[in-house]
Amino acid sequence: MKGVSAVIATILMLMITIAMAGVAYMYISGIFTAKTGTIVEIDESATSCTGGSITVWVRNSGTIAFNKNLIILSGTNSAGGALTGGGACTGGTSATLNAGAGAVACDTAKLTNALNGNNRIVVSGPSNTATGSIYCSG
């Protein structure tokens, strides 16, 4: 009789099972699906509209800090026209947007020409683009 003995076959099957369980654990625990790099998000709860001017608050939900002036603001108003102003996000107390830190305002890059209703905001970061909307009234 030629072939693999029952003891060796059992050991091989056990090793394959342990390897598959390890891969499944790593996937489930988020190692393969975790956010990495520089991920810019809009903090819509802090973003505000006053007198047709929108102050956008952004946060870095990635794992790498980056300079805030790499963020570009733009958007459209509720009538479909372009929001003016915007540009590079340079205002505020810190030039660095740290990973996992709180939201930071883009003070000097306010979006203007906002109209009553939902205005669409576009924030372009170093590795992604985030969109959101802010409701303006009065």
Residues 57 and 105 in one domain: yes
- Rounded alpha-carbon distances, angstroms, from residue 14 to 7, 8, 17, 28: 11, 10, 5, 21
CB–CB of 132/111 below 8 Å?
Answer: no
In the sheet that 84-85 helps form, which strands lie side by side, from edge to edge?
48-50, 53-55, 111-112, 84-85
Residues 20 and 56 in one domain: no
Residues 91 and 119 in one domain: yes
What domain range is 51 assigned to? 40-136
The number of domains in the chain is 2
Residues 119 and 81 in one domain: yes
Q: Is the pLDDT of residue 12 over 90?
A: yes
Residues 30 and 62 in one domain: no
| pLDDT tens digits, one per residue of 94-124 | 688 888 888 888 877 889 999 999 999 999 9
b (16+ CB within 10 A) / e for 65-80: ebebeebbbbbbbeee
Residues 101 and 81 in one domain: yes
| pLDDT tens digits, one per residue of 17-35 | 999 999 998 888 776 666 6
Residues 55 and 69 in one domain: yes
- Rounded alpha-carbon distances, angstroms, from residue 46 to 4, 9, 57, 59, 127: 66, 61, 6, 11, 23
Average pLDDT over residues 49-62: 89
Residues 25 and 60 in one domain: no
Residues 53 and 6 in one domain: no
Residues 5 and 25 in one domain: yes
pLDDT band at 91 (very low <50, low <70, confident <90, very high): low
Average pLDDT over residues 23-51: 82
Backbone angles phi, psi at 17, to 5 degrees: -65, -45
Q: What is the pLDDT of residue 93?
A: 60
